Each structure stands twice: as C-alpha cells, then as structure tokens.
A and B are shown apart, each in its own frame.
Chain A
C-alpha cells in the first residue's frame, strides 16, 4: 500500500516535469505562430500573447513585398530534397544489395571502407567541393546539391544491416531459376522487401536535406535558386529589422509545413529514430 502510494507521488512529480519540458519545447513555436497574426505595434506592446490577432494578411503583404520569396525557396527545396531522397535511398539499397547478395573479392574491403568513411562530415570538404563546382561552372545549379546524395555511406550501412536478415537468398535463387535477370530481381523482389527501411531512411534524408544550410549557402548565389534555409536567413537582414509581425510570419511559413508533417507522421518518425540507433 505505502509502496504504491510512493510510486503515485513519484509519478505525479515526473508527470509535472514532463509537462514543463513539453511547454518549453513548443512555447517558442506557439509564440511564433501567434505573433505571425499580430501587428508590429501589438508585438512591441506585449511580445507574448496566446490570442491570435487579425493582421495576418497585412503581415503577409509586408513580408512578400521585399526580397523574401517563400514560394521560390519552397520549390527549390522541394526539388533538391525529393531528388536527393530518391537517389540516396535507391542507390544505397542497391549498394547494400551488392554487399548482401553477391560474393565478390573486394566485398569485405569495400564494407570496411564504408564503415571508415561513414562518420566524415560533409562540411569538412566544402572548400574543395566549391572549387571543383566553380571550375566546371556549376554553381547555382541545383543538380550539384542532388547528385552527391548517390553516395551515402551511413545509409548503405543501415540498409545492409536491415537487408541481411530480411532478404533470404533462397528467394533470389528461385527467381533466378524462374529466369529473372539480376537487375529485375533487385527492383521487383529486394526493393519491396526493403520498403520499411526505405521509408524510415527517406523521412530522415528528406528532413536533413530540407534543413541543410551550409552547402547551399556556399553554392547558391542567385536569389531564384535559393533553397528555403537560405531564404530564411534573409529574414535576419536589415529590411525586416522593424517588421516584427512579418518576420514571425516568415518564420511560421517555413516551420508550419514541417510541424504539420511531423505531427502527422510522428509515430513513424519517433520509431524511426529509435530504429536508426539500434541498427546503426
């Protein structure tokens, strides 16, 4: 009896702490969204309010009247993120397939190589990458942000770990007996089996590509090629210095799609984070 009472007390304290943490985690976004609907004088009088106002369209007019073009950033980010996600999930699975299904001389050496380079961060090589791209006159081309996604060592590793127990070599063998070509077997048998792993990896590749600032900032100098994170950085500029409502609205426009998608897929995303750590 006393023991369960003690647990009840501990549970209540833990619950209260969790509620406080949850408030800290979302309050900045709540303030952002509410202030997007308030006028600059209202924000200056009281910067925190939980009651939305009716200046949304006015803020929108101020916001879009200047250099901030969320739709351009949105489109460019969408092109880069969708293409990078498609390429990196497809080719990582293909590479993993080569590692799991076939027995080739350099296989183990190749796998050890992937393990070794997995942790190398891309930012470290940016200067050489920029010089290379500049020399072939490909700065301001979105394709230079997309193609590198073909080689994603950590995703190859994840896919291999997932494929090893999931794909039985007997299925591959029987498909061969039925006369299927190797490439056909990969596309029609291995890929469907890998769907859960691909979905998980696709979400995270998409998000990290969508949020990436460093490489696009280095490569893209033309406004009509800006991805969303670079577009966001314009909100820090002097032209929006006194337009608080418009700045909050700009930030909301960039964050809201992510928040909505995240809340809709949250169960899979949280499960995916956990899966990635166990397999990786």
Chain B
C-alpha cells in the first residue's frame, strides 16, 4: 500500500525538476558542447554563423592557441596573479579569523570590522577597476598625491606603464576585494568546530599559537579546500578587473586568459573558433586542477582524521586510567 503511494508521487519528482533540466540543457549543456564543437571548425568573422569542420586537421585551433605566445603570456599572468593574490589573502584572512574567534580576548568593534572588510567585495568590479585606474593616475592621481605629500616619493610616479607594478596593482585589487569574504568563511568554519576540542586544548595547556596550528587549522581543512577551489576557479576566470583596469596592458602585462578569449572572439578578427578552443583548454585545466586539489587534500584529511581519532582514543584511555587512580 505504502509503496504504491510512493510510485504515484514519483512523477512529481520529475515534473518539478523539469524546468531546471530544460533550462540547464538549453543554456548550459548545449552551449558547452557547441563551444567544444566550434573549437574544431573554421568559424570566424563578425556576424558569421556558417562554418566547416576541419576534417584535414581537427586540432588546428588548439595547436594554434597552445603555441600562441600571447595565450601563453595570458595563462602565465592568470596563474601568477591568482597565486600572488591568494597567498596574502588567505594569510590575512586566517590571521583575522584566528583573532576574531580567539576566546581569550574579544576585539572591540568586531562586527563593524567584518562589515567594512567585506565591503569591497559587494561593489561592482567594473566600478572598482576604473576607480583604481583613476586612483593610480599620473601625474596627479590620489595615490601620487598622498605619496608626494607625505614625502615618500619626491616626484609623481607613473605606476600604470610599468609591467610589474601594473600586475602588482591588479594583485592588490584582487586581495583587497576578497580577503574579507575569505575571512568570514574561515570564521564560520572555526565557529563550527566543537568547543570541546578547544576546551581539551586549553586543559592540555596549549598556547594560542599551538592551538591555532594543531587544533584550528586541521579542523577547518574542508573549508580551506572549499576556499582554495572556489578561489582557483574564480582566479582562472579573472576578467572584470584586468579588462577594465588597463585593458590587459601595458604590453599584455595584465592580460588574463578570459580577456584573451574575449579579445579573440569579439574584436579584431572575430576568431570564434580560436576563442572556443582557448575556452575548452581552460575548461580542461579547471577540471584537472580542481580534481588534483580535491584528491590531494582529501587523502591527507582522512589521514589526519585517523591520527586525531587515535590520539583521542589515547587521551580517553589516559583519562580513564587517571579516573581509576
């Protein structure tokens, strides 16, 4: 009787997920397959939709992209800018998370700080990019004004024409926009740890430093993995800031792969086929690197868990012994 009823309702499961399935098929799945397909064709030129499959050499576009110096520069820039923004961003976020969750001292105005640190993340990236372009203006942008007024620079410095400086500013903007977000995520991770573990650490006489490395960090491993993977995917798709801050310049110094793809497809030769090939290369790269990260961190996680369980069992035995005594 009961089973029959279930079967009767099963159709609603299909019915209610149907809008999602249709929308996903039309707006995600089909474009993905279509992009992959275009990568094997000669589709280019503004407004063109007709194309031929490259029977004689299907991987032509992929080879062109992978040997294109500009693409390789863009890929290198993207990776460098992501890594150099992620390290300080994570370090700062971890430090702040450790401070804000420390049970020994409560920081006054903690709530207000969280709100202010997160604020840059909510503002449109397009606005931020153009604002920073104005802030670092030469000769009399606000940054130059401050630095010359306080005597740090004797004369205005043209930040935006030096390759490494421009890249450094993009890295700074990314860190500045994202450290508050990462901090909030990590704080919620730390608050999710059972207080008993911290009690145990305190009883064992661990100082703040030890507690952080031995208790806090291992226990937020999953959240760190989440942060790492989402930041990596976001970083490999960096577009708004490099596109509008300096249009990928100077001399391609802030060109990212997504800006490259956009420029290939929607300016100059309108090379949709090459842009599609580049998209697919990035797609594979994103999947591979996330898979590797998941694999690496998951294994260690389980290992740690086993070790912690062992240690806890030991502690329990010791506690029992002491209790017996």
Contact = CB atoms under 8 A, between A and B. Distances in A.
Nearest to B9: A102
Given A91-B19, A151-B20, A123 B258 contact: yes
Nearest to B172: A24
A25 B124 contact: no
A237 B22 CA distance: 40
A1 interface: no
B239 to A, nearest CB: 5
Contacts of B96: 18, 21
B107 A18 contact: yes
Interface stretch (A51-59, A125-133, A194-202): A125-133
Given A127-B276, A130-B265, A151-B24, A214 B17 contact: no
Given A98-B12, A128-B34, A24 B176 contact: yes
B201 interface: no
- Do most interface residues of chain B lie in helix, strand or loop, or is the interface mixed? helix
A10 interface: yes
Contacts of B144: 47
A53 B15 CA distance: 60
B282 interface: yes
B87 interface: no
Which of A99, A119, A156 counts the most B-chain CB atoms under 10 A from its CB? A119
B126 interface: yes
Contacts of A251: 127, 130-131, 134
Given A91-B20, A277-B189, A104 B13 contact: yes
What's the interface size class on A, roughly? Answer: 35 or more
A124 B117 contact: no
A104 B10 contact: yes
Given A98-B12, A214-B239, A274-B185, A128 B35 contact: yes
A162 interface: no
Interface of A: 7, 10-11, 14-15, 18, 21-22, 24-26, 28-29, 31-32, 35, 43-48, 91-92, 94-95, 97-99, 101-107, 110, 117, 119-132, 134-135, 147-148, 150-151, 153, 156, 182, 186, 207, 210-211, 213-214, 217-218, 228-230, 232-233, 235-236, 244, 247-248, 251, 254-255, 258-259, 262-263, 266-267, 269-270, 273-275, 277-278, 280
Nearest to A248: B134
Contacts of B19: 91, 94-95, 150
Interface string B136-175: 0100111011100100000000000000000000000000
B79 interface: no
A275 B188 contact: yes
B187 to A, nearest CB: 7
A71 to B, nearest CB: 16
B135 interface: yes
Given A25-B116, A103-B6, A247 B130 contact: yes
Contact of B265 (A120, A127, A229): A127
B120 interface: yes
Interface residues of B, number: 104
Contacts of B35: 124-129
B94 interface: no
Contact of A131 (B38, B184, B261, B286): B38
Interface string B113-132: 11111111011111110111
B133 A236 contact: yes
A182 B12 contact: yes
B104 interface: yes
B228 interface: no
Interface stretch (B25-33, B210-218, B304-312, B316-324): B25-33
